[in-house]
Amino acid sequence: MTAGLRLGPLLRYVDWETGEHATVWIEADRPCTAEVRCLGAPPGEGTAPAGEDTANGVPGAEGPPDATRPGAPKGAGGSSRTFQIEGHHYALIPVSGLTPASSTAYEVLLDGRRVWPPADWPYPPSVIRTPAIPAEGVRVSFGSCRWAAPPAREHDPIGPDALDTLAGRMAAEPGGERPDVLVLLGDQVYADATSRETQRWLATRRDLSEPPGAEVADYEEYTRLYEESWLDPVVRWLLSTVPSCMIFDDHDVIDDWNTSASWVAEMRATPWWRERILSGLMSYWVHQHLGNLSPAELADDPVYAAVRDTPDGTDALRSFAARADADPASVRWSYRRDFGRTRLLMIDTRAARVLDERHRAMLDDEEMRWLRGQALEAPGSYDHLLLGTSLPWLLPPAIHDVESWNAALCRGERGERWARVGEDLRRRADLEHWAAFPASFEELASLIREVGSGPLAPSTVCVLSGDVHHAYVAEPHWPDPEPSARVLQLTCSPVHNAIHASMRAGFRFGWSRAGRRFGRAVARHGRAGRPVIRWDKTGGPWFGNQLMTLTLNGRSAELRLDQAVTDRTGTRLLTVDERNLTNGP
């Protein structure tokens, strides 16, 4: 039997150093050789202007085939054998020989047979867009928290999916504006909040009256979540043509994942948790993390080598996941991407935590050293620093104070009884953002000030976050001297999810003057000190399914917030806010 394409293709890494390389992720339905063949510029697509709408070699490649269509860069493409995990077959295909500042259509072949695009595919060709070298600008769209959209024929009770809507607009206007990269900041799948359709499928495998019930239990069930999300046709096309950077948050594994040491102990005592956490980490490594890595990181990755070096990489990946769970400090999920003179640092704020109540930290010591080293490397070599953290650094001030109060209670500042109350409240109210790790909050504030000060400081330092199911812009202020860089918290969530009316009211109250007074009173009860900085909301809150887009060019930065809306004209992205973040040209 011939191999078929089960999932993908996803365009993941596009090289911004030479403009010649990329990686494409696929899942096949059996072992095979997966190949990307480049075809040249599709109709309506031309060479991308320098700095506009633009986006090495990878180990293990069998070597790129010659492209066979007129206009394709000579020799552009690549191939790789699939590797096997739990009976599934994947490949991260290296693509080389691309031309900088170009837009190149591609097809996917399995064992020499074309499987992508499918026959009668209604969307434009999948393309790899490469930047001019040196790159002049980058457009970054970001958000988080996406329940898979229901099929088009079904009513969507939470409104249109912003990612679907973006994809639809791009498909209708192939030569129009598009992001150079999608930054997906967590909750790409919901392992603990499955759809009715997925629950019906789960019920064919096991008794849902037994834990973990309608949540996913093992690797095979995780693959179902990715299929449900990524086989949405227009999103499938979008992910095949726009590079993506991803990081997990709690729902990629389970709500409140790693909220506290006592939570972890309780979960480890349940009979189903070990399979859940190992499967969650394994599926994240395969579907999300692997494509985040640069070619150099892939070449040095012993797990990737071990998985590829055996007929079945399941045991090697399972051993890695077990080590990541038992010793989080031994594994790094954070990573760096450079887009010309914009540096993105994606920060793991889930698995890298230190949960000892007396030494709580959002990032362990080694992870914080890595973050400092990446942010401070080669000062003056970038104009914009983006810190991708699924959890907002700056919350509404009242909520910040409640979380710091709760952290003080849990570490025993008001005695054992209040510590028990604090732990119960922490879990019920999800009090686990940067504010709940006060030392880490201050350490990040110190790092941002250091990066943003001095003659070689970047123009902007933007903290990109999601999680809280609404969007806002906040700006911090330090005691004199202020950093010379413009520092902003940019929060955008959800891409496709809901928020209760009571939470909307709570977030609005959190920014109010009365909310600030309430927060300070609560913090005093817990003997929690004032944060070293103060901050103000300068935009929002906005509620709805939405995406933010940063356009960074030279030392200038522009921000736009688009919401997915349905009206008499159909479903579209409505721009609800635009602003210039700098005084640059």
Can you spell out the DSSP letters for 389-406?
ESS-SS--HHHHHHHHHH
Could you tell me if residue 522 is inside a domain? yes
Q: Give the distance from CA 123 to its chain's centroid.
A: 25
Q: What is the pLDDT, as a whole number, of residue 67?
A: 40
Q: What is the pLDDT, as a whole number, of residue 443?
A: 97
Q: Give the distance from CA 361 to its chain's centroid.
A: 21
Contact between 250 and 256 (Cβ < 8 Å):
yes
Q: What is the pLDDT, as a whole number, of residue 536?
A: 96
Rounded distance between C-alpha atoms, residue 243 and residue 130, angstroms:
10
pLDDT band at 58 (very low <50, low <70, confident <90, very high): very low
Range of the domain at 185: 140-292+327-580
Rounded distance between C-alpha atoms, residue 254 and residue 193, angstroms:
9
Give the domain CATH number at 432. 3.60.21.70
Rounded distance between C-alpha atoms, residue 276 and residue 255, angstroms:
13
pLDDT band at 70 (very low <50, low <70, confident <90, very high): very low
Mean pLDDT, range 192-199, rounded to an integer: 95
pLDDT band at 310 (very low <50, low <70, confident <90, very high): very high
Could you tell me if residue 81 is inside a domain? no
pLDDT digits (tens, 9 = 90+) for 420-439: 999 999 999 999 999 999 99
- What three-state secondary structure class fits 116? strand
Q: Give the distance from CA 199 to its chain's centroid.
A: 25
Residues 6+ apart with CB under 8 A from 340: 16, 131, 134, 135, 136, 137, 138
Beta-strand ranges (E) seen in 29-136 are 33-40, 77-81, 83-85, 88-95, 103-110, 113-116, 127-129
Could you tell me if residue 484 is inside a domain? yes
Domain count, the chain: 1
Contact between 463 and 531 (Cβ < 8 Å):
no
Residues 6+ apart with CB under 8 A from 531: 400, 404, 438, 441, 442, 445
pTM of the model: 0.94
Give percent above pLDDT 90 in the chain: 87
Rounded distance between C-alpha atoms, residue 27 and residue 17, angstroms:
28
Could you tell me if residue 74 is inside a domain? no
Token digits for 422? Answer: 């604090």
Q: Kindly report the CA angle at 284 between 400 and 162, in degrees rounded to 5?
A: 65
H-state helical runs in 183-272: 196-203, 219-230, 233-241, 261-268
Mean pLDDT, range 500-514, rounded to an integer: 94
Let me know how many helices (H) and strands (E) the chain has, helices first.
16, 22
Could you tell me if residue 505 is inside a domain? yes
Could you tell me if residue 486 is inside a domain? yes
Give percent above pLDDT 70 in the chain: 94
User: What letter represents residue 83's amino acid?
Assistant: F
Q: What is the pLDDT, as a whole number, of residue 276?
A: 98
Q: What is the pLDDT, as a whole number, of residue 52?
A: 40
pLDDT digits (tens, 9 = 90+) for 544-559: 999 999 999 999 999 9
Token digits for 122? Answer: 């209604």
Q: What is the pLDDT, as a whole number, of residue 568?
A: 87
Rounded distance between C-alpha atoms, residue 281 and residue 283, angstroms:
6
Give me the residues paired with residue 491 across strands: 465, 472
Could you tell me if residue 100 is inside a domain? no
Give me the residues paired with residue 80 across strands: 34
pLDDT digits (tens, 9 = 90+) for 428-478: 999 999 999 999 999 999 999 999 999 999 999 999 999 999 999 999 999
Q: What is the pLDDT, as a whole number, of residue 237?
A: 98
Give me the residues paired with residue 23 across strands: 94
Question: How many other β-carbons are positioned within 10 Å of the β-carbon of residue 384?
Answer: 29
With b for 16 or more beta-carbon neighbours within 10 A and e for fewer, the 92-104 pattern comes to bbbbbbbbbbbbb
Provide the residue count of the chain. Answer: 585
From 43-52, 379-388, 485-494, 532-541, the region with the lowest mean pLDDT? 43-52
Could you tell me if residue 478 is inside a domain? yes
pLDDT band at 49 (very low <50, low <70, confident <90, very high): very low
Q: What is the mean pLDDT of the chain?
A: 93
Mean pLDDT, range 69-83, rounded to an integer: 78
Token digits for 466? Answer: 């999601």
Q: What is the pLDDT, as a whole number, of residue 172?
A: 94
pLDDT digits (tens, 9 = 90+) for 141-170: 999 999 998 887 788 899 999 999 999 999
Q: What is the pLDDT, as a whole number, of residue 154?
A: 81
